[in-house]
Amino acid sequence: MKFAARFRYTDFMVRDLGRIELARGVIKLLPLPPDQAFFLRHRARFRSMMSSTAIEGNTLGDQDSLRAIVRPEDSLADMQQERRNYWRALEWMEKQADRPGPIAEDYIRELHAIIDVRVVGRRGRKSAYRTLECPVVDKSMGAIDYGPPTPRDVPGLMHDLVAWLHSSQALALPVPVRAGLLAHRFVSIHPFEDGNGRTTRALATSELWKGGYDMRGFLSLEEFYAIDRPRYYRSLQMGLPVNFYEGRHDPDHTEWLEYFLSSMAEAADLLRTTAEGMNLPNGALVSPWERLSRQQQQVLNRFLMKLLAGEQAPDRVRPGEVSDWFGISGNTAREWLGQWRTEGFLEPTTAEAERIRAYRLSRVWWELLEHVARNAHDNTIK
């Protein structure tokens, strides 16, 4: 069942693509104060995590979500685990964004494994496609909302989807259009027993990031789906029959793309307006934290979450925490910490002659985070 995306460009889609490009160009070049830029980046990640999991019914509050991410724990409740998993998926996607080439099946299976894992610290596993029928049921009504393809068809459908994604026809499309088509086809295949919705939204974000549409890490698309969930689900369904084989196998995607692009344009417009209000005339184009390694930037974000969550000694970190955050061995965590100390990112909390059991964030970075935290509280946003 070869996949060939069908849609037509409408006036609304062309308008919204223009809005997205305008915002992308402004945000790329706009000088921002370092603390404001870091705040926007953190806020986007946090809202993406909160919104994508909230669509699936997760009601965990801000503070508990922050603690679920930064605290090493042996066991977590389901909602805590979902939030932690999605944050880790965003971190993993960020690392993959710089790697060349389109998304492959192994990428999708590994991303799903991170999103749906139920055991703390488990890493590296690639999810298998489902072997069971997996209808989507409206829990309030008990009716089937969607009947996905049979399990025996899933591997072939996924192979065809990825083949399309690698094709010259797909690569010639505007990145936002391609991301929208990837998301809709993936969720229609429903290749896993659980976590398909979260993986769908993460895949769209991945495709945007890989295509250069992360907007300096400030864009959160998921929150615009969560604002009006009924509209999100209606747009996905497009009034098509319940059964995949009765119309969803080869739909016209125009209606979905209109919704997807309008949501992205709204998010981009709001982000552009916000960034323009923070503009730093004659400021540097690159904030100091953007020169840090990817892992250091992610650790900086964890420190910020510890601060916002009201953790004790939020400027401190131990090897065990780094090991838990990144799913690495204790020895590797200690090597990273030693390297970061050499680079001036961290400093030991003990005297030189004593064994180093913990590190604190260097003063220059801690002062930046204190500014960011004040920004977050002033804006009543985590």
At 305-332, the pLDDT tens digits run 999 988 888 999 999 999 988 888 989 9
Q: Which of 146, 147, 189, 163 is nearest to 2 (CA)?
A: 163
* Domain range list for the chain: 11-277, 292-378
> In this structure, are residues 67 and 309 in contact, taking their beta carbons and an 8 Å threshold?
yes
Query: Does the pLDDT of residue 285 top 60, yes or no?
Result: no
- pLDDT range class, residue 14, cuts 50, 70, 90: very high
> In this structure, are residues 98 and 209 in contact, taking their beta carbons and an 8 Å threshold?
no
Query: Does the pLDDT of residue 381 top 50, yes or no?
Result: no
CA angle, residues 262, 268, 271, in degrees to nearest 5:
145
CATH number of 11-277, picked from 1.10.3290.10, 3.90.1150.10, 3.40.50.1390, 2.120.10.30:
1.10.3290.10
- pLDDT range class, residue 380, cuts 50, 70, 90: very low
Q: Which of 312, 367, 315 is nearest to 67 (CA)?
A: 312
Query: Does the pLDDT of residue 286 top 70, yes or no?
Result: no
State mean pLDDT over 43-70: 93
Least confident of 131-140, 164-173, 190-199, 351-360: 351-360
Sign of the torsion angle spanned by Cα atoms 165, 167, 169, 174: positive
Whole-prediction pTM: 0.90
Backbone φ and ψ of 359, nearest 5°: -125, 155
Query: Does the pLDDT of residue 375 top 90, yes or no?
Result: no
State mean pLDDT over 9-35: 92
- Beta strand 136-138 pairing with 316-317: unpaired
Give dist(CA 148, CA 191) in Å, integer.
Answer: 9
Tell the burial category of 82 from Cβ atoms under 10 Å away from its Cβ (0-12, 13-18, 19+): buried
Question: Residues 137, 139, 143, 144: what is their CA dihedral angle, to the nearest 10 degrees?
Answer: -10
Q: Taking every pair of C-alpha atoms in the chain, what is the biggest distance, in angstroms? A: 72
Q: What pLDDT digit, counting tens, does each position of 111-164 carry?
A: 999 999 865 544 558 999 999 998 888 766 667 889 999 999 999 999 999 999
**Mean pLDDT of all residues belonging to the chain:** 89
Class of CATH domain 292-378: mainly alpha
Give dist(CA 306, CA 353) in Å, integer.
Answer: 28
Write the CA distances from 142 to 62, 137, 139, 230, integer angstroms. 31, 6, 5, 17
Give dist(CA 211, CA 97) in Å, integer.
Answer: 8
Comparison of pLDDT for 207 and 125, the residue scoring more: 207
Give dist(CA 163, CA 377) in Å, integer.
Answer: 46
Comparison of pLDDT for 352 and 218, the residue scoring more: 218
What is the DSSP track for 17-30? HHHHHHHHHHHHH-
Cβ atoms within 10 Å of 152's Cβ, excluding its own = 8
Give dist(CA 159, CA 104) in Å, integer.
Answer: 9
User: What percent of the chain has a predicted confidence (pLDDT) above 90?
Assistant: 64
- Beta strand 359-361 pairing with 346-348: antiparallel
Give dist(CA 69, CA 360) in Å, integer.
Answer: 19
Element (H, E) at 137: strand 136-138
Comparison of pLDDT for 35 and 90, the residue scoring more: 90
Write the CA distances from 7 to 168, 208, 213, 250, 255, integer angstroms. 17, 19, 22, 11, 8
Comparison of pLDDT for 14 and 101, the residue scoring more: 14
Query: Does the pLDDT of residue 259 top 90, yes or no?
Result: yes
